[in-house]
Amino acid sequence: MAKNPFYVYALKDPRSKPAKPFYIGKGTGNRAWEHQLNIDDSEKGQIIKDIINDGYKVIHTIISNNLTEEQALKIEAELIAALGVISQGGMLTNRVRPNPENISSKVKLNVPAGCYERAQMGLELLKSAVVELAKANPDGIKNSDAAKYLGLQSDYGGGSKDYLSYSLLGILMKENKIERSNKGKHKSITD
């Protein structure tokens, strides 16, 4: 089990051989896969749309994981500097080039010892419950099904937001335990 939750990733275009990175980022959980769920109007978003429209899938490469936030920010900054942004003759669509001088000031959270490990133990139980629900329903489950039937709905701020079950499904897709059909249902792909 990873002790530090951050990782650095590259989004790559499979239409070129070898696949070339067009975006470098850092994140936790399913961050690397979120770009395709919420495609924006940026240069990066346009490349993602073009890849999908051409019948391909974006390649996600985890470059380094088990990182602290500060380590992830430093690696991300180094890679962006090395590969360069398109607006300055490079190959990446990143809008911002991180300044390594400011990285330490961006890390603001103190994580008490054992807190991350307890969260990961709980996450494993939640993930296994979602996979079991998906296996029991061969036609697939929707995010709302996971939220409703596993008691994961939230009424935070007076609204019903199912972000926890979205996060769980995203993590399980990243781990190749669940796949999403074009009908928006999620099916188990594990034995």
Task: Tell me, yes or no, whether 18 and 90 share the same domain.
Answer: yes
Low-confidence ranges of the chain (pLDDT < 70): 1-2, 97-117, 157-160, 190-191
Residue 1 belongs to a domain: no
Task: Tell me, yes or no, whether 124 and 60 share the same domain.
Answer: no
Return the half-sphere exposure (C-beta side, CA atoms, 13 A cut-off) of residue 64: 16
Task: Tell me, yes or no, whether 123 and 162 share the same domain.
Answer: yes
29 burial type by CB count under 10 A (0-12 exposed, 13-18 middle, 19+ buried): middle
Domain of 18 in residue numbering reads as 6-106
How many CB atoms are located within 10 Å of the residue 49 CB? 14
Query: What is the rounded distance in angstroms from the CA atom of residue 142 to the CA atom of residue 145?
Result: 5
Task: Tell me, yes or no, whether 101 and 133 share the same domain.
Answer: no
Locate 131 and state its tokens: 């996979």
- What pLDDT, on the 0 to 100 scale, is given for residue 55? 95
- What pLDDT, on the 0 to 100 scale, is given for residue 19? 92
Task: Tell me, yes or no, whether 60 and 96 share the same domain.
Answer: yes
Contact predicate 189/179, CB 8 Å: yes
Residue 141 belongs to a domain: yes
- What pLDDT, on the 0 to 100 scale, is given for residue 50? 96
pTM > 0.85: no
CATH of the domain at 171: 1.10.10.10
Number of domains in the chain: 2
Residue 184 belongs to a domain: yes
Domain end, chosen from 47, 80, 106, is at 106
Residue 69 belongs to a domain: yes
Contact predicate 23/91, CB 8 Å: no
Residue 152 belongs to a domain: yes
Compute, in degrees rounded to 10, the torsion defined by CA atoms 34, 36, 40, 43: 110
- Please report where in the chains the tokens 């070339």 appear, as a residue: 20
Per-residue pLDDT tens for 113-154? 666 667 777 888 898 899 999 999 989 999 889 988 998 888
Task: Tell me, yes or no, whether 149 and 86 share the same domain.
Answer: no
